[in-house]
């Protein structure tokens, strides 16, 4: 099992991922605002199933790669650091999107379409794949037991964090979007806070060593 301290740090990383701007977040908020909570919840189920797809694929892949190629850890760690710094820049760059910018004028979709769109939006989202491939190896150590078991443990934590935050946002999308519209200064605070956390995680990851 992965130690509690590492588990908490990973959970924080998963939290930063879910609140950073991306296709999943924008789609869920757009559906919740334009078509209602039920549509947002159905879309969320599709997104979560997309996460499960990524977890299974990455768990099998990491098990093979980490045992076969010792250099893989260093390579994936470097990619993770670069990716975190890229997200930090994206959060504060001029004209960057805030998490409650939505697409307007969406036509109403049937439940099956809502689910499938949520699923494929996540499956085809490179941010999720990069997160799993670059972050999981930072927390997986052979002395903690099965690589597969550790991968699944991290996957469950990430899905739980993502589901909880996205559920809250789906249920409160309209109210929170209105809050940000009335108080734009909070958007800047949110962006700089996110960038600071991302940079901090990148620094920690850069100086972490294989145990």
Which residues contact residue 131 at a Cβ distance below 8 angstroms, ignoring those fewer than 6 apart? 13, 17, 83, 158
Neighbours of 124 (CB within 10 A): 11
Distances in whole angstroms, Cα of residue 173 to Cα of each of 15, 28, 53, 68:
18, 9, 26, 45
CA-atom Rg of the chain in angstroms? 18
Q: By three-state DSSP, how is residue 160 classified?
A: helix
pLDDT score for 27: 80
Say what the pLDDT of residue 211 is.
Answer: 44
pTM for the model: 0.70
CB-based burial of residue 52 (10 Å sphere; 0-12 exposed, 13-18 middle, 19+ buried)?
middle
Centre a 10 Å sphere on the Cβ of residue 58 and count the other Cβ atoms it contains: 22
Contact call for residues 22 and 131 (beta carbons, < 8 A):
no
Could you tell me the mean pLDDT of each successive run of 10 residues in the chain, 211 residues long? Answer: 87 82 76 86 94 84 62 69 76 63 63 91 74 77 84 91 91 74 69 75 68 44
Give the list of residues 6+ apart from residue 119 with CB closer than 8 angstroms, or none: 46, 47, 49, 50, 53
pLDDT at 100: 52
pLDDT of residue 67: 54
Contacts of 188 (CB under 8 A, 6+ apart): none
């Amino acid at each position: 099992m992965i130690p509690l301290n590492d588990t908490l740090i990973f959970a924080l990383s998963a939290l930063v991922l879910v609140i950073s701007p991306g296709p999943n977040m924008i789609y869920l908020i757009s559906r919740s605002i334009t078509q209602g909570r039920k549509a947002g919840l159905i879309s969320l189920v599709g997104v979560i199933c997309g996460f499960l797809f990524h977890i299974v694929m990455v768990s099998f892949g990491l098990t093979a790669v980490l045992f076969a190629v010792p250099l893989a850890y260093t390579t994936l760690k470097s990619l993770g650091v670069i990716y975190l710094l890229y997200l930090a820049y994206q959060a504060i760059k001029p004209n960057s999107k805030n998490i409650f910018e939505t697409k307007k004028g969406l036509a109403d979709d049937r439940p099956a379409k809502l689910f499938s769109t949520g699923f494929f939006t996540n499956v085809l989202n490179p941010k999720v794949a990069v997160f799993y491939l670059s972050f999981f190896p930072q927390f997986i150590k052979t002395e903690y037991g099965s690589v597969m078991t550790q991968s699944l443990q991290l996957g469950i934590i990430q899905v739980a964090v993502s589901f909880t935050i996205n559920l809250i946002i789906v249920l409160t999308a309209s109210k929170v979007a209105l809050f940000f519209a009335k108080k734009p200064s909070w958007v800047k605070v949110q962006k700089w806070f996110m960038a600071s956390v991302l940079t901090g995680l990148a620094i920690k990851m850069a100086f972490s060593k294989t145990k």
